[in-house]
Chain A
Amino acid sequence: MDAEARARLTPVGMALLVARIASVAAAVAVALWLYLGYTPPKRSSYPGREKVIFWHMWTSNWAEVINNICRRFNESQERYEVVPLTVCGGSLKTLIATAGGDPPDCMGQWETVIPAWAERGALTPLDELMEPGDWARLRDKMYPAVREIGTYKGHFYGLATGMNIWACYYRPSHFKEAGFDPDKFPKTLEELDAIAEKLYRYDKNNNITRIGFTPWGLSHWIALFGGTLFDYDRNELSICHPRNIDALAWMAGYSNKYGYDRVLQFQAGLPSTMEASWPFMSGAYSIVVDGQWRIQQIFEYMPNLDYRTAPIPPPAGGKENACWSNGNFMIIPSGAKNKKGALEFMSFWSGVSDPARAAEFYTWGGWLPITPDVANAPIYQEYIRKFPEFKTFVDIMSSPNVQVTPPTPVQAYLMHRLGWAEDAARREVMSPKAALETIRDEVDRELKNTRVSLKPAS
Chain B
Amino acid sequence: MARRQNLTGWLFASPVVIGLLVFTGYPFLASLYLSFCEYDIFNPPTWVGLNNYRILFTRDPLFWTSLKNVLYYTVFAVPMGITFGVALAMLLDAKIKGISVYRTIFFLPSIVPVVATSVLWLWLLNPRIGLVNTLLRLTGVAGPTWLGDPAWSKPSLIFMGVWGVGGSMIIYLAGLKDIPVTLYEAALVDGASTWQRIRHVTLPMITPVIFFNLVMGLIGSFQYFTQAFIMTGGGPLDSTLFYALHLFYQAFMYLKMGYASAMAWVLFVIVVAVTAVVFKTQGRWVHYGR
By a beta-carbon cutoff of 8 Å, the part of chain A in contact with chain B is: 92, 95-96, 98-99, 116-117, 120-122, 261, 264-266, 268-269, 410, 412-413, 416, 419-420, 423-424, 427, 429, 442, 445-446, 448-450, 452-454, 456-457
Contacts and interface: CB of A to CB of B under 8 A. Distances in A.
Given A269-B129, A449-B256, 8 more contacts: A120-B43, A261-B145, A261-B148, A265-B127, A268-B148, A412-B253, A446-B254, A452-B38
B236 A98 contact: no
B213 interface: no
20 contacts: A120-B43, A121-B42, A261-B145, A264-B127, A265-B127, A265-B145, A266-B128, A268-B126, A268-B130, A269-B126, A269-B127, A269-B128, A269-B129, A410-B254, A420-B237, A427-B150, A429-B237, A449-B256, A452-B38, A456-B38
B148 A99 contact: no
Q: Which 3 A-B pairs have the closest CB atoms?
A: A269-B128, A122-B42, A120-B42
Of B129, B235, B254, which is in contact with the most chain A CB atoms at under 10 Å from its CB? Answer: B254
A92 B40 contact: no
B269 to A, nearest CB: 21
A448 B259 CA distance: 14
**Residue of A416, A423, A424, A429 with most partner-chain B CB within 10 A:** A416
Interface stretch (B53-61, B171-179, B276-284): B53-61
Contacts of A452: 38, 48, 51, 55
A420 B234 CA distance: 10
A424 B235 CA distance: 11
B166 interface: no
A284 B43 CA distance: 49
Chain B CB within 10 Å, residue with most, of A92, A429, A448, A452:
A452
Contacts of B201: none
Contacts of B40: 120, 453-454
B185 interface: no
Interface in B27-58: 38, 40-43, 46-48, 51, 55
Given A121-B43, A420-B237, A442-B61, A268 B255 contact: no
A402 B41 CA distance: 33
B236 A427 contact: yes
A448 B60 CA distance: 11
B125 to A, nearest CB: 9
Contacts of B259: 449, 453
Contacts of A448: 59
B238 interface: yes
A121 B47 CA distance: 19
Interface in B213-227: none
Contact of A261 (B129, B149, B253): B149
A280 to B, nearest CB: 18
Nearest to B128: A269
A450 B39 CA distance: 11
B38 A423 contact: no
Given A95-B41, A95-B252, A449 B59 contact: yes
B85 interface: no
Interface in B191-228: none
A446 B235 CA distance: 19
Interface in B118-161: 126-130, 145, 148-150
Given A445-B59, A456-B48, A268 B145 contact: yes
B258 interface: yes
Interface residues of B, number: 35
Given A265-B145, A429-B237, A449 B55 contact: yes
A457 B48 contact: yes
B128 A268 contact: yes
A456 B252 CA distance: 20
Contacts of A457: 48, 51
A449 B60 contact: yes
A265 B128 contact: yes
B237 A427 contact: yes
B61 A117 contact: no
Nearest to B39: A453
A456 B42 contact: no
A420 B61 CA distance: 14
Contacts of A449: 55, 59-60, 256, 259
Most A Cβ at <10 Å: residue of B148, B252, B253, B255? B255
Interface string B238-276: 100000000001001111101100000000000000000
A367 B256 CA distance: 34
B137 to A, nearest CB: 10
Given A120-B255, A412-B253, A449-B55, A420 B38 contact: no
Nearest to B51: A452
Contact of B127 (A268, A424, A446): A268
Given A121-B42, A448-B59, A423 B256 contact: no
Contacts of A419: 235
A269 B149 CA distance: 16
A450 B259 CA distance: 10
A454 B37 CA distance: 11
A456 B47 contact: yes
Given A122-B42, A269-B126, A412 B148 contact: no
B145 A420 contact: no
A260 B194 CA distance: 51
A429 B38 CA distance: 36
Nearest to A207: B128
Contact of A264 (B145, B253, B254): B145
A99 to B, nearest CB: 5
A370 to B, nearest CB: 27
A116 B255 contact: yes
A458 B281 CA distance: 47
A424 B62 CA distance: 15
B47 A420 contact: no
A95 B51 CA distance: 24
Contacts of A423: 235-237
A92 B42 contact: no
Contacts of B237: 420, 423-424, 427, 429
Nearest to B258: A453
Contacts of A117: 42
Contacts of A424: 237
A334 to B, nearest CB: 8
A96 B42 CA distance: 9
Contacts of A264: 127, 145, 148
Nearest to A100: B41
Most buried by B among A98, A423, A446, A453: A453
